[in-house]
């Protein structure tokens, strides 16, 4: 039996993947005179606590190390197996065990026993652990308050009461992106989201912008693609927002794809033939001639895109108008302009939503208007999601779509991070379509528990023959953007999986909205000390203003 969770230990890797233990043993800490046996090593590897360099157990604000979710636990286990593999090469029996575990870890998503654990026991254990976090946090704050109270002059006649932190104050993210207010970006957006979530739970109907701030914040998403006044920009000063935007864009620069000169020349010929003849069919005939020459090459997607553009100008001109004369639905834009396959369901989001709303019925994931997939090891993985809406006068629909798209991109990125083992930076993509206009976004995991959404590219389909020539550069770049998608099949979950957080999902019917189980991460010691010092400084300054601090305290440097 496992001493930490009363789980039976057999020759079954499900114990290692599902058992709620948190610590590991490194080989250099083995105290025995000889190399451990396979059974001894695997036993100690799981049960021995992990110590800091000074020999003390690591303690922190929330002891969040107990709350690794399925993705993080599988990731840590896979990383540890790779560490074990090298020294095990001289011990065939042990090497065989490690290799067997590695093989089974690759296919763990298809294991019914492991899946059952994470659908039932795992989330319940996490909820039990989470119940103790507010108590631990309040004890930390109470300790800080008591320290301040002992510094206050007893002759002042004031009584310093020790109050517990509010639920919002307990929301502390461990990202290292700080602003002048002393709080991190992740903490700021998640605290605001928690406030809005509490208001919604108490019956207040949120405005579309507020709901977007809430859904982004609860998912750990900073949307710097939205510069509207009532967006997340309102949570920061103008200088802070400009600085944040500059830093994030610099941190996540993308190489501009080189223009394909052959496709560019073909498009120029097509545009010239259409403009001279004032007949779209002349351009289409030129494209058909190119089909024979470039059949089977990577130019074919570009040629098909050119044909499609000419076709919609000729057959569906009303869809290219900003305000169509006749009634047009989202389905019309989706099927005639952008795609003909209809909506898709994202399996990754469906599984995660079932974990968040485990007691709900008919729990479904995001319904995506269009998905861009890459085939990796005979499995289809999403790298891009698309949302389509009509031109909306008040903008409520597109605001809701943007909030949904941001979370779809986060799920795409999380699923991509789970793919394989090579260390390559990755991002996911999103396309927001409003009528015939298109905005292309990218999402990056930029810090602990903090995703950032960046505006990358935007264009509108040409609505007439006169617009064809100006569409040249946009078309070529859009076609070659797939080269950036292609490199995303190989990347690592190991170095960054601990930075990921849960996505917030709209609750099922007749269910209250819930905060994600893993809203925040594991604050490091340095951040814990900084937060407590900030709390003490704030209270000291408050008492100084009231004249309740003695001369010794008055000399402290409190910025």
pLDDT in tens, the chain (559 residues): 333 343 333 333 333 334 333 333 333 444 444 444 444 444 444 444 443 343 333 333 333 444 566 766 777 777 778 777 777 777 788 888 888 888 888 777 777 777 777 777 776 776 666 666 556 656 665 665 565 555 544 444 444 444 444 556 667 777 778 876 678 888 899 989 989 988 988 888 899 899 999 999 988 899 998 888 889 999 998 888 999 999 888 888 877 667 778 888 888 888 888 888 888 888 888 898 888 888 888 888 888 888 888 888 888 888 887 777 667 777 777 777 776 443 444 444 555 555 555 555 555 554 555 666 666 666 666 678 888 877 765 677 788 888 888 888 888 888 777 665 444 567 888 888 888 888 889 998 888 778 899 998 887 888 887 777 767 665 555 544 444 443 333 333 334 545 666 666 666 666 666 666 566 655 554 455 555 556 566 666 666 665 544 343 333 333 3
Give the number of other Cβ atoms within 10 Å of residue 246's Cβ: 11
Q: Helix 472-480 vs helix 300-315: angle between axes, to the nearest 10 degrees? A: 130
Backbone angles phi, psi at 191, to 5 degrees: -65, -45
Using CA atoms, how far apart are residues 179 and 34, in angstroms rounded to an integer?
52
- Whole-angstrom distance, CA of residue 110 vs CA of residue 60: 35
Residue 21's pLDDT is what?
Answer: 35
Element (H, E) at 275: helix 261-277
Rounded to whole angstroms, the Cα distance separating 414 from 402 reads: 18
Question: Is beta strand 379-389 parallel, antiparallel or unpaired with respect to 450-460?
Answer: unpaired
Q: At what angle do helices 208-218 and 396-417 cross, to 10 degrees?
A: 10
Interacting residues of 85 by C-beta distance below 8 A, sequence separation 6+: 95, 98, 99, 102
Place of tokens 């560019």: 264
Say what the pLDDT of residue 9 is: 34
* pLDDT reported for residue 210: 92
Name the 3-class secondary structure at 441.
strand
Query: For residues 106 and 124, what is the distance between their CA atoms, to the nearest angstrom?
Result: 25
Q: What is the DSSP letter of 231?
A: S
What is the pLDDT at residue 119?
A: 72
pLDDT in the model for residue 374:
66
Would you state the structure tokens that stand for residue 406, as one six-digit string?
Answer: 């941001």
d(CA 16, CA 73): 9
Smallest CA-to-CA distance from 286 within 273, 295, 302, 297 is with 273
Beta carbons of 209 and 394 less than 8 angstroms apart: no
Helix 70-85 and helix 38-47, axial crossing angle in degrees, nearest 10: 140
Length of the chain: 559
96: which residues sit within 8 A by CB, 6+ positions away? Answer: none
| Strands (DSSP E) found in 126-244 | 221-223
Neighbouring residues of 146: CB distance < 8 A, sequence distance ≥ 6: 162
Q: Using an 8 Å Cβ cutoff, are 149 and 162 in contact?
A: yes
CA distance 509 to 361: 8
Q: How far is CA 217 from the centre of its chain?
A: 11
Closest to 171 measured CA to CA, from 514, 520, 513, 498: 520
| Distance set, CA 299 to CA 260, 287, 294, 302, 438 (Å) | 9, 11, 6, 5, 22
Contact 494, 421 (CB under 8 A): yes
Dihedral Cα 116, 119, 120, 124, nearest 10 deg: 140
pLDDT at 452: 92
pLDDT of amino acid 533 = 58
Q: Which long-range contacts (CB under 8 A, 24 or more apart) does 96-105 make?
A: 97/38, 97/42, 100/13, 101/13, 101/16, 101/77, 102/78, 104/13, 105/13, 105/17, 105/74, 105/77, 105/78, 105/81
Cβ atoms of 187 and 172 within 8 Å: the answer is: yes
What is the pLDDT, as a whole number, of residue 67?
54
């Amino acid at each position: 039996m496992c001493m930490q969770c009363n789980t039976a230990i057999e020759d079954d890797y499900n114990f290692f993947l599902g058992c709620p233990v948190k610590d590991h043993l490194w080989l250099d800490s083995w105290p025995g005179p000889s190399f451990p046996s396979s059974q001894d090593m695997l036993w100690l590897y799981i049960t021995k606590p992990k110590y800091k360099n000074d020999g003390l157990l690591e303690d922190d604000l929330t002891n969040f190390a107990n709350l690794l979710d399925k993705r993080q636990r599988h990731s840590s286990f896979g990383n540890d197996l790779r560490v074990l593999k090298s020294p095990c090469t001289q011990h065939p029996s042990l090497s065989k065990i490690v290799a067997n575990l590695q093989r089974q870890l690759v296919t763990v998503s298809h294991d019914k026993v492991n899946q059952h654990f994470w659908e039932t026991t795992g989330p319940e254990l996490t909820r039990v652990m989470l119940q103790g976090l507010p108590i631990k946090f309040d004890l930390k704050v109470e300790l800080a308050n008591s320290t301040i109270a002992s510094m206050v002059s007893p002759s002042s006649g004031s009584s310093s009461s020790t109050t517990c932190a509010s639920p919002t104050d307990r929301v502390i993210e461990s990202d290292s992106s700080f602003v002048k207010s002393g709080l991190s970006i992740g903490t700021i957006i998640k605290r605001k989201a928690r406030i809005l979530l509490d208001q919604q739970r108490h019956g207040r109907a949120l405005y579309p912008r507020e709901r977007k701030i809430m859904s982004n914040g609860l998912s750990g998403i900073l949307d710097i693609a939205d510069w509207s006044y009532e967006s997340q920009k309102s949570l920061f000063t103008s200088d802070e927002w400009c600085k944040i935007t500059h830093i994030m864009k610099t941190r996540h620069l993308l190489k501009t794809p080189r223009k394909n000169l052959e496709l560019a020349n073909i498009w120029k010929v097509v545009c010239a033939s259409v403009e001279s003849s004032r007949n779209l069919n002349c351009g289409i005939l030129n494209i058909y001639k190119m089909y024979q020459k470039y059949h089977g090459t990577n130019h074919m997607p570009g040629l098909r895109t050119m044909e499609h553009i000419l076709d919609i100008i000729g057959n569906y001109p009303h869809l290219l108008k900003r305000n169509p004369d006749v009634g047009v639905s989202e389905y019309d834009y989706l099927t005639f302009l952008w795609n003909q396959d209809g909506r898709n369901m994202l399996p990754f989001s469906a599984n995660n939503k079932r974990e968040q709303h485990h007691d709900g019925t008919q729990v479904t994931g995001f319904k995506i208007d269009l998905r861009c997939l890459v085939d990796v090891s005979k499995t289809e993985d999403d790298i891009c999601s698309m949302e389509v809406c009509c031109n909306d006068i008040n903008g409520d629909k597109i605001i809701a779509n943007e909030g949904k798209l941001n979370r779809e991109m986060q799920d795409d990125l999380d699923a991509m991070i789970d793919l394989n083992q090579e260390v390559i930076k990755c991002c996911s993509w999103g396309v927001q379509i409003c009528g015939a206009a298109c905005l292309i976004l990218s999402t990056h995991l930029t810090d602990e528990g903090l995703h950032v959404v960046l505006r990358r590219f935007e264009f509108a389909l040409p609505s007439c023959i006169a617009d064809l020539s100006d569409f040249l550069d946009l078309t070529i770049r859009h076609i070659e953007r797939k080269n950036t998608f292609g490199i995303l099949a190989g990347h690592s979950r190991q170095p960054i999986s601990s930075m990921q957080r849960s996505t917030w999902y709209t609750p099922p019917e007749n269910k209250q909205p819930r905060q994600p189980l893993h809203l925040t991460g594991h604050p490091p010691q340095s951040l814990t000390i900084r937060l407590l010092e900030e709390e003490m400084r704030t209270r000291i300054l408050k008492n100084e203003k009231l004249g309740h601090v003695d001369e010794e305290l008055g000399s402290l440097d409190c910025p």
